[in-house]
């Protein structure tokens, strides 16, 4: 056999072997089951957070039922002119009051006759280390005392309230002492204040006490104006910061509100105090430990509707609460 013939035979033999291997592989793929690897992802098991009980819940106030089915564990409505109690629900129980504290902060600042045009600076001492809440006022921001008071009342700005307390003669300890002294002078016998912001649950008062605070604060036009201003912008030295009122009722033309303050921390629930004119009658309303973001506003609407329907007799509801 010639050399060329042997080369042709070898080439053909190699081709046949390759075809045989291809056919064998094809048969194996048809006869053998196809193995597919799947990766299974398991969702992490996250335990549900434990329900947060307010101080009012712990005291058993949530067991109280009232004729208007309010969502607030505590409520008090008084005629501002006569001090007659029109509606009452657990009004004698002292509870955490959150940022309602700032109403006392404002009262102390105003009655101390401090210079409202003095520039106050936000420092690291004003950072919230109690609840770790944020703030739109940066460290180093400089505002007049008037502007600090304005945004503390209308928008519950915590760093502003903290700065107001720090810039009192003697610093924050002296300011807190002045707050408690004013509470005592007003006859707020169940009240106690530990800071100027209300971030601590140690700031406590009953609805009866808070009504006295509202009556006193209402005497100052600057507190009435600042607390009910719908919007306001402050110059921090670097840029303008725009604020809106934390109580949307002040923007409702159907309401005639002369003074207000909102508050919230987990221990206190949603809180609200207001002075408003209803049926040409000035009334003071206090709502503490309300459940739900809008429930205190809804409770105010229920009270208003009830007052507009004509009062036949005051509504009183109390429970024997466990004081902590």
pLDDT tens, position by position, 79-122: 999 999 999 999 999 999 999 999 999 999 999 999 999 999 99
**Strand 85-89 versus strand 315-317 pairing type:** parallel
Catalytic residue among 72, 89, 91, 102: 102
From 99, 155, 206, 290, the catalytic residue: 99
Identified catalytic residue from 72, 91, 155, 156: 156
* 200 tagged catalytic: no
Q: What is the pLDDT of residues 46-84, one digit of tens each?
A: 565 556 799 999 999 999 999 999 999 999 999 999 999
155 is catalytic: no
Q: What are phi and psi for residue 159, nearest 5 degrees? A: -65, -30
102 is catalytic: yes
β-strand partners of 282: 277
Query: pTM score, two decimals?
Result: 0.82
Domain boundaries, the chain: 60-317
Q: What CATH number does the domain located at 60-317 have?
A: 3.40.710.10
Structure confidence by residue, pLDDT tens digits, 172-190: 999 999 999 999 999 999 9
């Amino acid at each position: 056999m010639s050399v060329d013939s042997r080369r042709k035979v070898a080439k053909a033999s190699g081709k046949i072997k390759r075809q045989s291997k291809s056919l064998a592989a094809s048969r194996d793929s048809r006869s053998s089951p196809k193995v597919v690897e799947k990766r299974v992802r398991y969702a992490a098991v996250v335990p549900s957070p434990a329900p947060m009980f307010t101080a009012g819940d712990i005291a058993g106030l949530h067991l109280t039922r009232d004729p208007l089915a309010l969502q607030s564990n505590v409520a008090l409505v008084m005629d501002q002119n006569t001090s007659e109690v029109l509606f009452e629900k657990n009004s004698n129980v002292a509870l955490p009051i959150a940022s309602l504290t700032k109403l006392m902060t404002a009262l102390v600042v105003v009655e101390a006759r401090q210079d409202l045009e003095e520039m106050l600076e936000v420092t690291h001492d004003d950072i919230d280390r109690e609840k770790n809440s944020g703030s739109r006022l940066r460290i180093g921001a400089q505002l007049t005392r008037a502007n600090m008071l304005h945004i503390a009342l209308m928008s519950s700005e915590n760093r502003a309230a903290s700065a107001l307390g720090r810039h009192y003669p003697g610093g924050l300890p002296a300011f807190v002492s002045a707050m408690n002294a004013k509470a005592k002078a007003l006859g707020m016998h169940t009240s106690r204040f530990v800071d100027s912001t209300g971030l601590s649950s140690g700031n406590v008062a009953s609805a009866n006490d808070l009504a006295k605070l509202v009556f006193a604060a209402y005497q100052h036009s600057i507190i009435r104006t600042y607390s009910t201003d719908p919007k306001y912008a402050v110059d921090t030295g670097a840029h303008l910061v725009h604020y809106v009122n934390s109580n949307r009722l002040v923007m409702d033309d159907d309401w005639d509100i002369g003074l207000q303050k909102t508050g919230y921390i987990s221990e206190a629930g949603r809180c609200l105090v207001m002075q408003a004119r209803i049926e040409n009658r000035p009334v003071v309303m206090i709502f503490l430990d309300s459940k739900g973001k809008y429930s205190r506003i809804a409770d105010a609407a229920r009270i208003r509707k009830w007052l507009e329907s004509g009062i036949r007799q005051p509504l009183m509801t109390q429970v024997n609460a466990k004081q902590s």
